[in-house]
Structure formats: C-alpha cells, structure tokens
Amino acid sequence: MNPEDELLAVYDAEGLVIGAADRGTVYREGLWHASAGVLVRSSDGTRVYVHRRTDSKLVFAGMHDCLAGGVVDAGENPADTAIRELREELGVDVPVGTVLPLRATVSWDGIWAGRALRCHLFGYEYRYDGPFTHQPSEIADGWWWTDAELRAHLRDPAWPFVPDTRAVLDGLLTGGNGSRR
C-alpha cells in the first residue's frame, strides 16, 4: 500500500476528531492530524533510545528522533497508535493490557517542504532495555544516550532533529505531564 493512501484521522485546531482523509491529502492541504510517539527509556531511567530516520520517509527524512511514533489512523486513538508504532518501528511488543503513561501533549503548527504541517502530538513513555528490531523502511540506525547527551545535541539548532518531537520533548524529558496546546 502506498503510504499516501493511508486513511488518517483529521482533527480540528482544538484537538477534536472531525473526520478522515488520506495521508497525501492531509500533507498537501496542511490539515490538522495527530501523531503519537513513545520515548523509550532504559529500565533504570538513565538512557533514552535515539534513532535516525531513513532518507525515504515522507516527512522529516534522514533526521534524528527519540520517539517511536507515527500518525493516528482513522478510527484509532493515540494510545493505540503509540503501541502499534513501538511494535512496527522498533519491534517492541508491549504486553496486552499495558497502559503507556501520557507524559506530554503539544499542538505543532509548522512547515515541512514548503507546506503547512499541523499536528497534535501525544508523547508517551515506555521502559525497555531491548533488543530492538528496526523497521528497515523507517529506521536507519539507533543508539542509547543519556538525557544530558540528547540535550547537548538539541542545543545545536543545526542538528537535524524532527521539529515536532523537539516541540513535545521538554515535557517528556522532565518526566512531568508537560501538556501544551
């Protein structure tokens, strides 16, 4: 299936689901949609799993990220998206019945490839030490960093890091419920 044909949930600016559209339309028209991402921490909480996206991704190709995540499909809720994306991107199977803690939310109204990109982001956390199995079409490489190592790289505005993750990350790294709309 062509990724641009995937049916996504469409949201309004306030964060309410108002319909559905294919991914190509959502990106071309700059429609509000949602994304769920999971910050994977080591079991002891001292490290964060960071990865580089493949050069073939539809958005933010080749950039670094520390969330396993993706867009919310039509009829799906963000918590289910988070668990699905963790399995698809990193090969992590979350036990049935596990509830991932929602740590941060933010609405990001940005630009990608010269077009508006508007997304409500839901940031979750999961403790896991590996192993990881990268989805070859999405993840080029991955490694562990401490929060301090990640923050040091984030201070460099030229470091190619996914901008919507950058927007939600403060709430995730502080461990609080850093909700912002």
DSSP letters spanning 8-59: EEEE-TTS-EEEEEEHHHHHHHT-EEEEEEEEEE-TTSSEEEEEEE-TT-SS
Question: In the structure encoding, which two tokens stand for residue 90, read together?
Answer: 């990193």
The CA distance from 33 to 125, in Å, is: 21
29 assigned to a ligand binding site: no
User: For 108, phi and psi rounded to 5 degrees?
Assistant: -115, 120
Contact yes or no for 29/8 (Cβ under 8 A):
no
85 assigned to a ligand binding site: yes
C-alpha neighbours within 13 Å on the C-beta side of residue 137: 4
DSSP letter for 155, please.
T
Cite the annotated binding site for Mg(2+) by residue number.
Answer: 85, 89
Cite the annotated binding site by residue number.
Answer: 85, 89
